[in-house]
Structure 1
Amino acid sequence: MDEKLNVGDVIRLKKQHPCGGYDWEIMRIGTDFRIKCTTCDRQIWLPRREVMRRVTKVVSRKEEE
Structure 2
Amino acid sequence: MEDYGLNDIVEMKKEHPCHKSKLWKIIRMGADIKIKCQGCGASVMFDRTEFERKLKKVIERAPREEM
Which TM-score applies when normalising by structure 2?
0.87
**2: distance between equivalents of 1:35 and 1:59?**
14
Counterpart-to-counterpart distance in 1, 2:11 and 2:37: 10
Q: Which blocks of at least 5 consecutive residues in structure 2 are unaligned? A: none
Q: Runs ≥4 in structure 1, deviation > 2 angstroms?
A: none
Aligned residues: 64
Sequence identity percentage: 36
C-alpha RMSD over aligned residues: 1.0
Distance 2:57 2:10 in 1: 6
SS at 1:4 equivalent: coil
Larger Rg: 2
Contiguous gaps of at least 5 residues in structure 1? none
